[in-house]
Amino acid sequence: HLSDAVVGTDNEFRITLWNDGSEAIYGWKQEEVLGRNTREILTTIYPSAETERDAIETLNKVGIWRGEVMQRRRNGELIHIMSSVNLL
């Protein structure tokens, strides 16, 4: 049992994997999110516009980005997240 959220997507950012940790942290059930775009489910707020640009640039260059962001739970609550994004 993994308590961290693990979210998998396709190249269009449609959710293909949503584990029990994701359900516990974000408040959405797997059957509610599979096939939906992450932008509909996970509002991500970067500390600054520069951080967001750097994250996208790093992800495109090296295929991985790690950093802190804020995301919104289903109930609207903002939470701090240590995020790791990998391109496969």
Supply 38's token pair. 């992450």
Q: For the residues 22-32, what does the mean pLDDT come to? A: 97
pLDDT confidence bin for 52, thresholds 50/70/90: confident
What mean pLDDT, rounded, does the chain reach?
Answer: 93
- State the pTM of this model: 0.85
Contact, 2 vs 20, CB < 8 A?
A: yes
Over range 47-74, report the average pLDDT. Answer: 92
Do residues 69 and 84 touch, judged by C-beta distance below 8 A? no
Contacts of 20 (CB under 8 A, 6+ apart): 1, 2
Give one DSSP letter per residue of 29-59, joined into a string.
-HHHHTTSBHHHH--EE-SSHHHHHHHHHHH
Per-residue pLDDT at 78 exceeds 70: yes
